[in-house]
Amino acid sequence: MTHCTPAQTAVLNTLRQQNQPISAQALHGQMRTQQRIGLATIYRALDALKRLGRVQHRTTLAGETLYNTVEQDQHYLTCLHCGQSFPLKACPLKGLQLQPQPSNSFEVFYHTLEFFGLCQPCQVETTPEEKHLEV
Amino acid sequence: MTHCTPAQTAVLNTLRQQNQPISAQALHGQMRTQQRIGLATIYRALDALKRLGRVQHRTTLAGETLYNTVEQDQHYLTCLHCGQSFPLKACPLKGLQLQPQPSNSFEVFYHTLEFFGLCQPCQVETTPEEKHLEV
DNA sequence: TTAGAAACGATAATCATTATCATTTCTGTA
DNA sequence: TACAGAAATGATAATGATTATCGTTTCTAA
Ligand SMILES: [Mn+2]
Ligand SMILES: [Mn+2]
Ligand SMILES: [Zn+2]
Ligand SMILES: [Zn+2]
């Protein structure tokens, strides 16, 4: 219990090789070609890594959960109309200092940050009254 | 199709009355005491409001999806050990300008932002090597 | 070795969310 | 007003990602 199990290590390494967040099932499909591993073990490993602060996840509009390592500090603009996601070039929180918090010493491992709105092409198909903030 | 359906309006108003994000089922349980409304309609309304950029949602560590209006721009510190969530006093992105993006004119309606780590009490039960960033 | 603990794989069970479909309500027109 | 087609709704069945279960295997430490 002191360190990662073999499965956890394997999952973490496979996640590191991805250049995009990936679902648990896709991860399984990818890993099982290399080694014998059960889907339940993937979920167990992802959960453990999550609680260790090594892996994070986001949920797409379609409802699928995508995992990635905390190191790849990546955020997306997601279009509410067509569902496409566009990666940000940099993390907007880089170098940002959080205000002192409730118990004033919460230890932050990582964060999730996503933006939702309309991509360029989808904006034209939208009525003016629905428009909000331009960025 | 030009405007909200009665159900969408009702859901949005009920969401506004909440001072915390709430699950679809809890929302249903709360609304059905006031009026006859089906759970499917709640989900349909939430989905429509989501795509209109009026409602957002987050997924807890336990896997439940919680909804809230975009106006209540609220973010949380969530402890990976005990699962408790602590609200931030203010949005760290307030007044922040996004860098020019891919198609350079993505229209942002709202954002989601969450922090994960260890709360004060849970930090003491943790070995030093697992410690990360102090905030 | 060997006993107990932890991890694992296969698969059954769960449960939030979606899809279906018959019914009701709306909207515009004759 | 009466009516036809469209949209919305509620009840409920189906789906599918995640979790629980359980028998087996692997690890750990005496
Ligand atoms: Mn970031
Ligand atoms: Mn905010
Ligand atoms: Zn789009
Ligand atoms: Zn805690």
Q: Which domains does chain A have, with CATH numbers?
A: 1-72 (1.10.10.10), 73-135 (3.30.1490)
What lies within 8 Å, CB to CB, of B6 at 6+ separation is: none
pLDDT of the residue at A128: 45
Q: How many residues would you count in chain B?
A: 135
Considering the entire predicted model, what is its pTM?
0.88
Nearest CA in chain B to A51: B80
| pLDDT grade for B3, boundaries at 50, 70 and 90 | confident
Residue among B97, B112, B117 minimizing CB distance to A106: B117
For tokens 């909440």, the residue is B18
CA A54 to C1' C1, in angstroms, rounded, equals 38
Q: Does residue B56 surpass a pLDDT of 70?
A: yes
Q: Give the nearest nucleotide to B38, CA to C1'.
A: D10
| pLDDT grade for B34, boundaries at 50, 70 and 90 | very high
Higher-pLDDT residue of B86, B97: B86
pLDDT of the residue at A4: 85
CA A2 to C1' D27, in angstroms, rounded, equals 13
Read off the pLDDT of residues B35-52 as tens digits, 9 standing for 90 and up.
999 999 999 999 999 999
pLDDT of the residue at A100: 67
Are the CB atoms for A42 and A5 separated by under 8 Å? no
Higher-pLDDT residue of B75, A100: B75
Phi, psi of A118 (to 5 degrees): -125, 135
B5 vs A: CB within 8 A = no
C-alpha distances out from residue B59 to A65, A72, A96, B22, B112, Å: 10, 20, 24, 11, 11
Q: How many CB atoms lie within 10 A of CB B89?
A: 11
pLDDT of the residue at B100: 67
Read off the pLDDT of residues B123-135 as tens digits, 9 standing for 90 and up.
887 654 343 333 3
Rg (CA), chain A: 18
C-alpha to C-alpha distance for B39 and B57, rounded to whole angstroms: 17
| pLDDT grade for A103, boundaries at 50, 70 and 90 | low
Which of A127, A72, A58, A36 has the alpha carbon at shortest distance from B59?
Answer: A58
Shortest-distance ligand to the CA of residue A78:
3
Read off the pLDDT of residues A20-48 as tens digits, 9 standing for 90 and up.
999 999 999 999 999 999 999 999 999 99
Q: Give the nearest nucleotide to A43, CA to C1'.
A: D18
Q: Percentage of residues in chain B with pLDDT exceeding 90?
A: 69
